[in-house]
Structure 1
């Protein structure tokens, strides 16, 4: 047993030295757990942030001024007051996502009991902001008009009061979700890439033949790749969590980082084994890259990290229970967002461990068959 552990340790050190001598992989690791996380947290296209809005105020009334003043940073830029000709030219150039036109006599007609329309021109090529901003602008204008009409009338109040409590993200900060979910997704992506690339790199360099003549077993070779590549991803993820998420983005982490580390380590055991299995199927790095696209996209899109699993078809929900990412996302969100303890996430821990053991056994069998063909 001591000799076996020594072989696994030394082979893992060899993998780490091989990674150090690969500058492309080092740049990928640095980018994935720094710039990629920062961009995912701060560049959320579906949120309203500095939306370009212009107003054509043809009424010039107190009500129109009130409507214009309702749009302010950071959701909207300070509205530009334009003429109709300037607004059309700005929309053609793409300077504005929204142009709100207030017709002449709008306040007068409204006070006379009429329902004069407002015109909202939307640049629909910016689909995410156009969809979200359209509804937000409609609500804001309706609220300002309602307040203006009832400014001199007593508020009857609502028969039922709604006492709203926003838990876990009281200010609805998009960065809180984007940063932490990017770490969770990148752990999966990079662990598969590093473990698979390590095996393909040895095959391309001819070092697999050297391993075949050494007194080491396929299981020892696989375990060495698993612990070394998993350790690199785990340290990079913890560094990103401490220095990028908490340091640069000032996102509070509610739960135990130690418990999240344990869940991530179990998940890395499963995904590194998956990467080795995929590397045994591919014959070169381009083939491995194509296979990675086919596997990684469903793992990230259907595991609950982008869209809640409850909104997916029942068949997809059941199938994705076989993927370790589904349980990792659920456990990671529970720990980092809701400060859940091991008494809450233990089912996900058991599921990840079982899936990881299964994937490792399948990968080891495939790896042995591949080595036998090369011998």
Structure 2
């Protein structure tokens, strides 16, 4: 009981120190409000207002129909250009897509000769190029099928595929990025706040005060973990409720309570890692340089930005040792698909096991740091 009282009181001291730091409090507020909103509305993977041109050497009914099918908000009105303009226009970045319709296209189409269209894509904008190509292909196919159907040609396929999206039925990227930004920011802030708490003790000279108090290194560490974890979990929950659901109108079908419980378990793991990193640094700039590559790797390779299935097998196996990988899987299952504890307990168990290892390593380093300060 005495140890629990020490952990609780030291945690209150951590909260008081954090609340008195305007820079860190501003960082917490910005990360879970303005940053979430800006990324959700500023980063888009679907096609919006793409510049497209058509080289129409056929000048027929079907070619006009295809050109007029490119409409806002997905595309700008298709410009009509000559074949000699295509190369320079794409080199200058005026158009992301140029569709070339050859002469005699309509006659070959009606005769069943399978004519070929050429789509030139500016692939310097990688996401736009990939998604836009699929958009252009679908639009052209629909228009050609409609044109042939009106003239009595057989266009029906023996089977049709009807996709249905369970979450985000309109496939709006802001629905995905808003929630994923909250999930990713949990990792970033956990690393920053916990490490800053240790560095702050050194810079303010209060670590010497802790050394002469009847508290252990484990009690000091656990107090920093629960105090900073409480702030981050509360900020993440408020961000989901007030920013994502209320301000942006994005529904979260899963249980936020289950997410908060899982986030608390995850923060036990990642804050232990952060405290261990802080023992290798003596100043905040040093800690920042050390922490940046760590949380960037944790975030980018957790499976939220890039699917784990798309990674090389050695890297995919290595990332199973990262708590961020299991937390991302847990958070997506809960917030996107409404999963409960019976479906995600394996991810939480993995986070606990990895966190226990990090806690042991961090405790060893923290004890050495305190002994060196004597």
TM-score, normalised to structure 1's length?
Answer: 0.89
Q: Which residue of 2 aligns with 1:326?
A: 325
**Conserved in 2, the CA contact under 8 Å of 1:246 and 1:253?**
yes
**Conserved in 1, the CA contact under 8 Å of 2:145 and 2:155?**
no
Instruction: Compute the displacement of 1:91 (Å).
Output: 4.3
Q: Deviations over 1:178-198 (max 9, x none)?
A: 221211111011101100011
1:27 correspondence with 2:18: no
1:237 correspondence with 2:236: yes
Q: Which residue of 2 aligns with 1:249?
A: 248
Instruction: Compute the displacement of 1:150 (Å).
Output: 3.5
* CA gap 1:35/1:89 in 2 versus in 1, 3 angstroms: farther
Q: Which residue of 1 aligns with 2:258?
A: 259
Instruction: Compute the displacement of 1:90 (Å).
Output: 5.5
Q: Which residue of 2 aligns with 1:6?
A: 5
**Conserved in 2, the CA contact under 8 Å of 1:63 and 1:148?**
yes
Tell me, what secondary structure is at the counterpart of 2:40? helix
Q: Deviations over 1:286-325 (max 9, x none)?
A: 2222221332232222221122223333333332222211
**Conserved in 1, the CA contact under 8 Å of 2:180 and 2:304?**
yes
* Greater mean alpha carbon deviation, residues 80-89 or residues 55-64: 80-89
Q: Which residue of 1 aligns with 2:222?
A: 223
Q: Which residue of 1 aligns with 2:54?
A: 55
Matches of residues 236-315 of structure 1 in structure 2 within 5 Å?
236-315=235-314
**Conserved in 2, the CA contact under 8 Å of 1:45 and 1:129?**
no
Within 2, Cα distance between the matches of 1:30 and 1:80?
A: 45
* Greater mean alpha carbon deviation, residues 22-31 or residues 190-199: 22-31
**Conserved in 1, the CA contact under 8 Å of 2:46 and 2:172?**
no
Tell me, what secondary structure is at the counterpart of 2:54? strand
Instruction: Compute the displacement of 1:349 (Å).
Output: 2.0
Within 2, Cα distance between the matches of 1:317 and 1:101?
A: 41
Instruction: Compute the displacement of 1:339 (Å).
Output: 0.8
Q: Deviations over 1:40-76 (max 9, x none)?
A: 3233454312222233555543222311232223322
Tell me, what secondary structure is at the counterpart of 2:288? helix
Q: Which residue of 2 aligns with 1:136?
A: 135
* CA gap 1:352/1:206 in 2 versus in 1, 3 angstroms: same
Within 1, Cα distance between the matches of 2:189 and 2:299?
A: 12
* Greater mean alpha carbon deviation, residues 55-64 or residues 32-41: 55-64
Instruction: Compute the displacement of 1:161 (Å).
Output: 4.4
Instruction: Compute the displacement of 1:270 (Å).
Output: 0.9
**Conserved in 1, the CA contact under 8 Å of 2:148 and 2:154?**
no
Within 2, Cα distance between the matches of 1:59 and 1:178?
A: 42
**Conserved in 2, the CA contact under 8 Å of 1:63 and 1:107?**
yes
Q: Which residue of 2 aligns with 1:365?
A: 364
Q: Which residue of 2 aligns with 1:159?
A: 158
Task: Name stretches of at least 5 consecutive residues in structure 2 with no aligned partner.
Answer: none
Within 2, Cα distance between the matches of 1:196 and 1:251?
A: 33
* CA gap 1:23/1:77 in 2 versus in 1, 3 angstroms: farther
Tell me, what secondary structure is at the counterpart of 2:150? coil
* CA gap 1:24/1:118 in 2 versus in 1, 3 angstroms: same
Question: How many residues get paired?
Answer: 374
Instruction: Compute the displacement of 1:115 (Å).
Output: 5.7
Instruction: Compute the displacement of 1:361 (Å).
Output: 2.2
1:341 correspondence with 2:340: yes
Within 2, Cα distance between the matches of 1:325 and 1:223?
A: 20
Matches of residues 44-83 of structure 1 in structure 2 within 5 Å?
44-57=43-56, 59-81=58-80
1:355 correspondence with 2:354: yes
Tell me, what secondary structure is at the counterpart of 2:279? helix
* Greater mean alpha carbon deviation, residues 203-212 or residues 274-283: 203-212
* Greater mean alpha carbon deviation, residues 137-146 or residues 101-110: 101-110
TM-score, normalised to structure 2's length?
Answer: 0.89
Q: Which residue of 1 aligns with 2:202?
A: 203
